[in-house]
Amino acid sequence: MTTTVVHCSDIHFGRGFLPECAEAFVATVKTLAPDAVVIAGDLTLRARRHQFHAARRWLERLERPLLVIPGNHDVPLYNLALRLLAPFRNYRMAIGVSTTQTLELPDAAVFGINSVTPFRHQQGRISDADMQQSMEWLDRVTAPWKVVVTHQHFYDLPGHRRPGAFPNASVLLEKWASRGVHAVLHGHTHYPSLMDARRLFPGLPRPLLLIGSGTLSNRRVRGPGMRTNSFQCLVFGSEMLSVTCHRWHAPTACWVADTTETFDRAFFASGV
Residues that bind Fe ion (CB under 5 A): 10, 42, 71-72, 188
Q: 3-state SS of the chain: helix, strand, coil percent to 5?
A: 30, 30, 45
For residues 3 and 51, which CB has a smaller minimum distance to Fe ion in the complex?
Answer: 51
DSSP-assigned beta bridge partners for residue 39: 8, 68
For residues 229 and 244, which CB has a smaller minimum distance to Fe ion in the complex?
Answer: 229
DSSP 15-60: TTB-HHHHHHHHHHHHHH--SEEEE-S--BSS--HHHHHHHHHHHH
In the complex, least distance from residue 196 CB atom to Fe ion, rounded to whole angstroms: 23
> Are β-strands 193-196 and 209-212 bridged in parallel, bridged antiparallel, or unpaired?
antiparallel
For residues 10 and 107, which CB has a smaller minimum distance to Fe ion in the complex?
Answer: 10
In the complex, least distance from residue 3 CB atom to Fe ion, rounded to whole angstroms: 27
| 140 contacts: CB under 8 Å, gap ≥ 6 | none
In the complex, least distance from residue 264 CB atom to Fe ion, rounded to whole angstroms: 32
In the complex, least distance from residue 151 CB atom to Fe ion, rounded to whole angstroms: 6
Give every strand in the sheet of 101-104, ordered side by side: 101-104, 108-112, 145-149, 183-186, 209-212, 193-196
For residues 42 and 107, which CB has a smaller minimum distance to Fe ion in the complex?
Answer: 42
In the complex, least distance from residue 136 CB atom to Fe ion, rounded to whole angstroms: 27
For residues 10 and 35, which CB has a smaller minimum distance to Fe ion in the complex?
Answer: 10
